[in-house]
A and B are shown apart, each in its own frame.
Chain A
Amino acid sequence: MKLREIIEKLKLKVLTAQDKLETEVSGGYTSDLLSDVMANSREGNLWVTLQTHQNIIAVAKLKDLAGIIIVNKRQPDQETMKKAEEEKVPLLATELTSFKISGELFELMRSKD
């Protein structure tokens, strides 16, 4: 499923990298430990987290993730936004919790299988 379609269906707010939304999403990964994401996420995954530190951009880039969903109305700091724009990593925002957005993403992707 294309990232753009997920963004529309889950009503995500696009914060950065508007031109990188045609990526194919391979699945999701939900975790707030960046060491765990580095070890266990897969290429093309959409990552759900509440971490807003700029290291999230480096991890997304390193693992070739499709994008990052920031949950719970959290606002990434300026440095993180700047890095995301430079590295072309889509940062997406939702007011939902990790539990709810992961559930919605799971259902949406399962319905397309």
Chain B
Amino acid sequence: MLRSMRADLHIHTCLSPCADLKMSPSAIAEQAKLKEIDILGICDHNSAENVPALIKAARKFKLNVLPGMEVTSQEEVHILALFDTAEAAFKLQQVVYDHLPGENDEKAFGMQVVVNEKGEVLRFNKRLLIGASTLSVERVVETIHSFHGLAIASHIDREGFSLVSQLGFIPEHLMLDALEISPKTSLEEAKSRFQNTFPFTTFSDAHFLEEIGKACTCFYIEEGNTEEIRKALQNEEGRKIIH
């Protein structure tokens, strides 16, 4: 049955060096439940290592978790990747890791904590997750699609790390599934500022617990998975974006 599902598909965890250490799987799941979110997208910078813990932590709250990543292209454009399984996210992670130079400096950028569902520290990720991969934006989108994921350009209204700030305008040949605008820009404003044919979504880009759900997109769909969301973005079979 088709129903309205509230999605915040851009949430960081304590694995992202710039995110709050309080962003543990159970705290995120609890907060999402409080904010009446149905679908969570877990998108740490260039890594998906906290996805399994989140899937487990979200079970008791009956939340849908979409495993994902926020990939940094060589142009320093951020692209959200969303999948249905952790395995698919890990396939993308492997490609990104193979093209991600550098080592993290905790003092400069922050800690990168891999945890279990109870929030217990399993290890520290040593890679430079805040850095840019050597993959072009086209290659990032192609790779996401090759693993059947959704590719969404992050916060295109921001002055840094967005498709528009880095590349001036949205390359028309880029096969994006949607564009994301940040909570500070309204949908009407975004539509007039970035005139194009891609569907618009808005998510929180939460780095702190209180930011979760600050911006959401409601989809009229049957299930909280990428195939249903893809149909909603394309306005197919009665699926749609309600906002």
Contacts and interface: CB of A to CB of B under 8 A. Distances in A.
Do these two chains interact?
Answer: yes
Interface of A: 32-35, 37-38, 51, 53-55, 58-59, 77
Given A51-B75, A53-B75, A58 B168 contact: yes
For the complex, would chain B's binding face be called helix, strand, loop or mixed by DSSP majority? loop
Interface stretch (B102-110, B159-167, B182-190): B159-167
Contact of B169 (A32, A33, A58, A77): A58
Interface size range of chain B in the complex:
10 to 19
B238 interface: no
B136 interface: yes
Contacts of A58: 168-169
Given A34-B168, A35-B168, A38-B168, 7 more contacts: A32-B166, A34-B166, A51-B75, A53-B136, A53-B167, A55-B171, A59-B168
A38 to B, nearest CB: 5
8 contacts: A33-B166, A34-B167, A34-B169, A35-B165, A51-B166, A55-B167, A55-B169, A58-B169
Contacts of B218: none
Contacts of B164: 35
Nearest to A33: B165
A91 to B, nearest CB: 17
B137 interface: yes
Contacts of A54: 171
A76 to B, nearest CB: 11
Interface string B136-172: 1100000000000000000000010000111111010
Contact of B136 (A32, A33, A59, A77): A77
A25 B224 CA distance: 56
Interface pairs A-B: 5 shortest CB-CB: A34-B168, A55-B167, A35-B165, A38-B168, A34-B167
Contacts of A77: 136
A53 B165 contact: no
Contacts of A35: 159, 164-166, 168
